Amino acid sequence: MADVTWTPEGEKLFAKLLAAVPEAMREPIKPKLIQMLAQRAGSGSIDEAAIKTMVQEDLPEPQKSALMQAIGMQAPPQQEGPVLEWSGKSEIMFELMLGEVPEGMRSIFRGKLSAVIAQKTQGGAVTDDHVNAVVNEIVPEPFKSNILKKFKTLGDFDPAIIAAIVERFGTSRDKLMFIMHAVQDEIGYLPREAMLAISDKTGIPVSAIYSVASFYKAFRLQRPGAHHVKLCCGTACHIHDTAGVGREIEHKIAASPGVSIEKTLCLGCCDCAPVVEIDGKVYKGAEAQAKIDSITLG
C-alpha cells in the first residue's frame, strides 16, 4: 500500500481519525481503513472528502457515528437509547461492555447498543443472553475477549441483592461489615464486582472495602468449593491431634477439586477436640472422618 498518496489535509484528517480509534485496535485496523480509502480515491490522492465519505458510507454503526463526531462531521441525529428493562446481571454486563469503550465515545455507544439490544428483546426484559449475543456478534477483538473474560469473573450473583442489602443497612461506614457479611452469606464469597457494587451503592471507596475484606479472615475473596471445611487450630485441638489427623484432612482436601479448606481460629468446642466444621456444622472424631471421606471421595 506504499503507492497510496495523500493530500496534506487528507493526511492530517486521517491521523485525527486514527487517534479516535481505541489504541488496541489502531494497528490492526489501519491497513483496512487505508484499503477502503484507496478504493474511494481511485487513482487520485486521498483527500478530506474521500475520508468523510468512507466513514459515512463504509463503516458500520456505532463506530460510524463515533468517528464522524471525532473528525468534526455532523453525526447523524442522536437518538436517545430506548428505555430497557433489565433482568439478572444484564445491566452490570452492559456497563462492563461500555467500560471498554473510550470515555468520549461512550454516550454514542450507549445509545446505539441499547437500540441493538431493544431490537433483540422485542419489548421484553433484557436477559444476560441478550448482552452476551451482542458482544459475540458485533464487538471486535480484542474487546470481545476482554469483555467475555470479565463476564466470566462476574460471579453468579444478582446485583439486585446488593442494592437490597445496602437499602436494609444504610450507607454509613459502620454498616460496611454488616453489608459485607450479608453479601457473603448470599453469594458465598465477595467477588470483585460485588465489592465494586457495594462501593457504588454506599459511596465508600473500593480501597476501604478491599482493605476490610482482606484484613478479616471471615471474608472470602475466592469462591469456596461445593463443600467448605474449616479446620480448627485451637489449643485443645492442637494438643489432642497427636495422630496428625488435621494434616491428613488437608492432604485429602488438596486432592479433591470441589472442596475448599480454611484454617480457623478456635471454634470453641474445646471439650471435644479435635474438631472440624464442614459446611457450617461442627463434627468430631469418627463422624468427622466419615463426613470428610464422603465429600472428598465423592
Partner 1 sequence: MITCADDLVKAKEQGNKRLFGSRVRVNVGTSTCCLAKGAELTYNALAYGITSAGINAELVKTGCNGMCWAEPVVEVHQPGQPKIIYGKVTEKEIPRLVKAIANNEVLADLAIARVDSEDHILVGSIDYATDGASLAGHPVAAIETTDFAKMQHRVILRNAGAIDPENIDEYIARGGYFALAKALTMKPEKIVREVTESGLRGRGGAGFPAGIKWRMCREAAGDVKYLICNVSEGEPGIGMHRSFLESDPHAVVEGLIIGGYAIGARTAYIYVRDNYRVALQRITKAVNDAREAGLLGADILKSGFCMDIIVKEGGGRYVCGEETALLSCIEGKIGEPRQRPPFPTNSGLFGKPTCINNVETWANIPVIIEKGAAWYSAIGSAKSKGTKVLSLAGNISRAGMIEVDMGTKISQIIDVTGGGIPGGKKLKGIQPGGPSGGVLPASMARLTIDYDELAGAGSMLGSGGMVIMDDSNDMVKLARYFTDFFVNESCGKCVPCREGVCRVRDMLDELIAGRSDKTALKAFGDLAAPITKACACALGKTAMVPVTSTMKHFRADYDSYLQ
Interface with partner 1 (CB under 8 A) = 172-178, 181, 208, 211-212, 215-219, 230, 233-240, 242, 264-273, 275, 277, 280-284, 287
**Smallest separation (angstroms) from partner 1 to the CB of 255:** 25
Q: Which of 153, 212, 188 is nearest to 260 (CA)?
A: 188
- CA atoms of 31 and 9, how far apart (whole Å): 19
| Minimum distance, C-beta of residue 67 to partner 1, in the bound complex (Å) | 46
Find out whether 64 and 98 touch, Cβ atoms under 8 Å.
Answer: no
Q: Which three cell numbers stand for residue 142?
A: 480484542
Residue 200 cell numbers, joined: 457504588
CB nearer to partner 1: pick between 67 and 182: 182
Q: Is the peptide bond before 102 cis (omega within 30 degrees of 0)?
A: no
Based on CB atoms, which residue is closest to partner 1, 56 or 171? 171
Whether 258 contacts 225, CB under 8 Å: yes
| Min separation Cβ 156 and partner 1, Å | 23
Q: Residue 255 class from Cβ within 10 Å (0-12 exposed, 13-18 middle, 19+ buried)?
A: exposed
Output 72 or 178, the one with its CB closest to partner 1.
Answer: 178
CA–CA separation, 83 vs 275, rounded Å?
Answer: 55
Smallest distance from the beta carbon of 248 to partner 1, in angstroms?
A: 18
Q: Which is nearer to partner 1, 220 or 223 (CB)?
A: 220
Min dist CB 266 to partner 1, Å, is 4
Q: Which is nearer to partner 1, 50 or 237 (CB)?
A: 237
Query: How far apart are CB 252 and partner 1 at their closest, in Å?
Result: 20
Residue number with CB closer to partner 1 (59 or 282): 282
Give the whole-angstrom CA distance, residue 131 versus residue 148: 10
